[in-house]
Amino acid sequence: MRMNARFSTTKLSAVALLLTFMLLVTACGSNSNAGSEPTDAAASPGATEAAAEQPAVEPITVVTSFYPLYYIASEIGGEHVAAFNLIPAGVEPHDWTPKSRDIDTASKAKLFLYHGAGLEGWVDSFLQGLDKNSGVVTKEMSEGISLIAATEEEHAEEEAHEHDHEHEEDGEHAHEEEGHSHGDNDPHTWVSPKSALKLAENVKNSLIETDAANQAVYEQNYETLKGKLEALDQQYTEKLSQVTNKNIVVSHQAFGYLARDYGLKQVSIMGLSPDAEPRAQDLLKIAKFVKENQVNYIFFEELVSDQLARTLAAEANVDTMVLNPLEGLTPEQEKAGDTYLTLMERNLQNLVQALQ
Least spacing, CB of residue 327 vs Zn ion, in Å: 5
Q: For Zn ion, which is the closer residue by CB, 64 or 221? A: 64
Which of 140, 230, 226 lies closest to 185, judged by CA?
140
Q: What is the DSSP string of 88-132?
A: PTT--GGG----HHHHHHHHHSSEEEE--TTS-TTHHHHHHHS-T
Taking the C-alpha atoms of residue 110 and residue 112, their distance in angstroms, rounded to an integer, is 7
Sign of torsion, CA 248 201 218 89? negative
- Closest to Zn ion by CB, 104 or 302: 302
Choice between 136 and 254, CB closer to Zn ion: 254
Q: C-beta of 229: minimal distance to Zn ion in Å?
A: 20
CA angle in degrees (0–180, nearest 5) for 68-70-71: 65
Options 137-145, 167-175, 198-206, 251-259: segment touching Zn ion (CB under 5 A): 251-259
Cα separation of 105 and 281, whole Å? 45
Which residue's CB atom is positioned nearest to Zn ion?
254
Scanning 13-21, 161-169, 218-226, 246-254 for contacts with Zn ion by CB under 5 A, the matching segment is 246-254
Q: Is 116 helix (H, G, I), strand (E, B) or coil?
A: coil
Binding mask 54-73 for Zn ion (x = CB under 5 A): --------------------
Which has the closest alpha carbon to 241: 164, 345, 319, 351?
Answer: 351
**Using CA atoms, how far apart are residues 184 and 200, in angstroms rounded to an integer?**
23
Closest approach, Cβ 253 to Zn ion, in A, equals 7
Q: How far is the CB of 93 from Zn ion (least distance, A)?
A: 7
Minimum distance of Zn ion from residue 123's CB (angstroms): 15
What's the closest the beta carbon of residue 325 comes to Zn ion, in angstroms? Answer: 6
81: enclosing H helix or E strand = strand 81-85
Contact 304, 92 (CB under 8 A): yes
Burial of 111 (0-12, 13-18, 19+ CB in 10 A): buried
Residue 196: how many other CB atoms lie within 10 Å: 27
Q: 147 or 225: whose CB is closer to Zn ion?
A: 147
Q: Which 91-150 positions form the footprint of Zn ion (CB under 5 A)?
A: none
Question: Shortest distance, CB of residue 34 to Zn ion, whole angstroms?
Answer: 19
Residue number, 190 or 218, with CB nearest to Zn ion: 190
Residue 207 interacts with Zn ion (CB under 5 A): yes or no: no
CB of 170 to Zn ion, least distance (A): 18
Helix (H, G, I), strand (E, B) or coil at 63: strand
State which residue, 114 or 222, has the beta carbon closest to Zn ion.
Answer: 114
Q: Which of 200, 254, 264, 267 binds Zn ion (CB under 5 A)?
A: 254
Segment lying near Zn ion (by CB under 5 A), choices 39-47, 231-239, 252-260, 286-294: 252-260
Burial class (CB in 10 A: 0-12, 13-18, 19+), 45: exposed
Segment near Zn ion (CB under 5 A); pick from 49-57, 253-261, 263-271, 314-322: 253-261
Instruction: State which residue, 222 or 257, has the beta carbon closest to Zn ion.
Output: 257
* Residue number, 87 or 254, with CB nearest to Zn ion: 254
Letter for the amino acid at 272?
L
Q: Could you list the residues that contact Zn ion (CB under 5 A)?
A: 254
